[in-house]
Structure 1
Amino acid sequence: MSRDSGEVIVVGSGVIGLTTAVVLAGRGRRVRVWTREPAEETTSAVAGALWWPYRIEPQERVGAWSLTSLKVYEELAARPEETGVRLVPGVHAGVRLDSLGPWARQVADLRQLPADEVPGAPAPALAARLPLIDMPAHLPWLRARLEAAGGVVETREVRSLAEAAAEAPAVVNCTGLGARECVPDPDVTPVRGQLVLVENPGITSWFTAADEASSTTTYFFPQPGRLILGGTADEGDRSLTPDPETSAAIVERCARIRPEIADARILGHRVGLRPVRAKGVRLDAADGPYGTRLVHNYGHGGAGVTVAWGCAQAVASQLG
């Protein structure tokens, strides 16, 4: 492969990697995605996937990335059966509008609720109609869109970014938690999230009560065929085995908000490891091995879905 060709290797096939690949292919790049496992087995596949900047830094860059993604998801919501994206109403409990960054002023219909509007929930609360993404549908849609643009996905374990640099003039590192080893970057650590999937007893709106300083959160997201209940935020915990006591506590917390959840039939349990980086998202370009242009795009914590399109466009700008 000529070093001046337009080929790009994107390492990683989670929502960050696939979205980045789609944007690059849409700009005429020849894109190959290298991935250790299919997108359906990544952390992204486990995500409840509500658009909202949660557990992600730096705030001064996150707002713009999030708003760019919001516009894309609003467009994709016109075709929910195809894209997996819907606009769904819901409530963020324990949040004040004036505590959010400037980005919040550009979110339509985001409004403060009266203190007693949501029984059982911590006040204050915000109401909004936001994108809710069904990841088992959205990830295959991203891959299909990439392949329609001429991109390919290859199953290949990457131990060092130099492996990709040896084969392409441009490499984008979207390895998430894997960046800890393949960069290497010791600032990347897992924050474990456990979820419970139940039959939906008729709930059509989402709810969150997430204290970023706490290891427990309370949320439920109505997705097709299921209601997703959460959650946890256990820093440094790499266990992918669901804990029964944690699952019971999640159901109990959600049932305080919607009592009918207590009797909902459990469909399954899920665990994912959020790729949190102590210094915030790393999105920058450098000269890589063999004269390769190397762009890092990792460390998105609990908001990979929220910033995916904004970060992908930033990567495309870095590559020129």
Structure 2
Amino acid sequence: METRRSGEVIVVGGGVIGLTTAVVLAESGRRVRVWAREPAERTTSAVAGALWWPYRIEPEALSGEWALASLAVYAELAERPGETGVRMVEGVQAGLRLDELGVWAARVPGLRETRGGEGGYAEAGLWARLPLIDMPVHLGWLRERFRAAGGVEEERSVKDLAEVHDLSGADVVVNCTGLGARDLVPDPAVRPVRGQLVVVENPGITTWFTSAEHSAAQTTYFFPQPGGLILGGTAEEDEWSLVPDPVVAEEIVRRCAVVRPEIAGARVIGHRVGLRPVRDVVRLDREVLVGGRVLVHNYGHGGAGITVAWGCAGAAARLAGGDGS
């Protein structure tokens, strides 16, 4: 057993939730180590689309506040897109109206209803200028920011959260394990929702588009990223396969080409599959264990982890005894 290190925090999980939480804790003056079984570039976060939007996440009131806190951070990071991977990009959420959204929507700058035909899109919906994040770049930037704040990353597999305090000697452990929480907590309420994407050479599209019912298994969206146009997608509940389905890929391209015909002839350059860690409600709370040791849970963000990452990180840091501001 390692020597006890009073005041140290172990963050378990190296995706966008874990790294953002680790950054906030480290910059508040805590000594922080991240334990992750795989590097950030191999996590679900790395394959995300990744547009800021509170998609399939509960509870609505809290998630709206977390999302708005994150939006403020991303708007600032977008001033350095090459460094942070964050850009502010315009686009349409087709088929949505403002009165269908929570109170958070009124605080999104420039979010407005649009008639069909605006921006070249036939469907009416909502027009907005939102953060669109190049996740490989952003995850790398988070890691560097964490290290600059004195944080340390360790590649370690955790099989029992209860043992992390003893193995590390830390006073506080923050559980940001996403889908892994299903076995580690254990919490059977965490389930995978499989998302498949296709990456094509961008034929010149500069705005994003989404058309997705909240509970639909098939969605239609595309996001212009520096490495290509990301096409989606799927939301298959309780599916665990990480192998791209070629039939599904063809259907994704076809649906996107209905919206923008030039996509039909775009060369396919890659396929991505990720498992969103969905829970009926996000778990963000604090347990006090034997001996006064603290376990903070921060998981179950589904497809909106990027959207709420900074807001949840601040809340988790406060639960852990850090500043979190």
TM-score clears 0.5? yes
2:312 aligned residue:
311
Residue type at the aligned position of 2:205 = I
Q: How far 1:290 moved relative to its partner?
A: 4.9
1:173 aligned residue:
175
Q: How far 1:119 moved relative to its partner?
A: 6.5
2:74 aligned residue:
73
Number of residue pairs the alignment of both structures matches: 318
Supply the distance in 2 between the matched residues of 1:6 and 1:45 (Cα, whole angstroms).
Answer: 31
Q: Secondary structure, in 3 states, of the residue corresponding to 2:23?
A: helix
Q: How far 1:165 moved relative to its partner?
A: 1.6
The one of 247, 252, 255 equivalent to 2:254 is 252
Residue type at the aligned position of 1:153 = E
Supply the distance in 1 between the matched residues of 2:73 and 2:9 (Cα, whole angstroms).
Answer: 23
| Contact 1:165–1:290, Cα closer than 8 Å, also in 2 | no
2:52 aligned residue:
51
Q: How far 1:298 moved relative to its partner?
A: 0.1
Residue type at the aligned position of 1:274 = R
Q: 1:252 to 1:118 in 2, by over 3 A?
A: farther
Deviations 1:91-120 (A, max 9, x none): 000100111111111111101001444667
Q: 1:11 to 1:228 in 2, by over 3 A?
A: same
Pairing of 1:25-36 with structure 2 (within 5 A): 25-36=26-37
Structure 2 unaligned residues grouped into runs of 5+: none
2:206 aligned residue:
204
Deviations 1:44-83 (A, max 9, x none): 0000010000011110100100000000000000000000
| Contact 2:85–2:137, Cα closer than 8 Å, also in 1 | yes
2:88 aligned residue:
87
Q: Secondary structure, in 3 states, of the residue corresponding to 1:5?
A: strand
Deviations 1:194-236 (A, max 9, x none): 0000000111110000111210000000000211000000000
| Contact 2:54–2:67, Cα closer than 8 Å, also in 1 | yes
Residue type at the aligned position of 1:214 = A
1:183 aligned residue:
185
Residue type at the aligned position of 1:35 = A
| Contact 1:287–1:293, Cα closer than 8 Å, also in 2 | yes
| Contact 1:165–1:288, Cα closer than 8 Å, also in 2 | no
Supply the distance in 2 between the matched residues of 1:120 and 1:80 (Cα, whole angstroms).
Answer: 26
State the TM-score, normalized to the length of structure 1. Answer: 0.97
| Contact 2:174–2:320, Cα closer than 8 Å, also in 1 | no
Pairing of 1:264-279 with structure 2 (within 5 A): 264-278=266-280
Residue type at the aligned position of 1:130 = L
Supply the distance in 1 between the matched residues of 2:57 and 2:289 (Cα, whole angstroms).
Answer: 26
Supply the distance in 2 between the matched residues of 1:128 and 1:87 (Cα, whole angstroms).
Answer: 10
Q: 1:289 to 1:194 in 2, by over 3 A?
A: farther
2:162 aligned residue:
162
Q: How far 1:291 moved relative to its partner?
A: 3.2
Structure 1 unaligned residues grouped into runs of 5+: none
Supply the distance in 2 between the matched residues of 1:91 and 1:107 (Cα, whole angstroms).
Answer: 14
2:195 aligned residue:
193
Deviations 1:175-197 (A, max 9, x none): 00000000000000000000000
Q: 1:318 to 1:2 in 2, by over 3 A?
A: farther
Q: How far 1:287 moved relative to its partner?
A: 1.2
Q: 1:119 to 1:129 in 2, by over 3 A?
A: closer
Q: CA RMSD in A?
A: 1.3
Supply the distance in 2 between the matched residues of 1:88 and 1:6 (Cα, whole angstroms).
Answer: 41
Q: How far 1:2 moved relative to its partner?
A: 7.0
The one of 214, 217, 241 equivalent to 1:215 is 217
2:294 aligned residue:
293
| Contact 2:78–2:87, Cα closer than 8 Å, also in 1 | yes
Q: Secondary structure, in 3 states, of the residue corresponding to 1:24?
A: helix
Pairing of 1:111-190 with structure 2 (within 5 A): 111-117=112-118, 123-166=123-166, 167=168, 168-190=170-192
| Contact 2:112–2:126, Cα closer than 8 Å, also in 1 | yes
Residue type at the aligned position of 2:21 = T
Residue type at the aligned position of 2:130 = L
State the TM-score, normalized to the length of structure 2. Answer: 0.95
Supply the distance in 2 between the matched residues of 1:107 and 1:174 (Cα, whole angstroms).
Answer: 27
Deviations 1:221-264 (A, max 9, x none): 00002110000000000000000010000000000111100000
Identity among equivalent pairs (%): 68
Q: How far 1:5 moved relative to its partner?
A: 1.9
Residue type at the aligned position of 1:94 = G
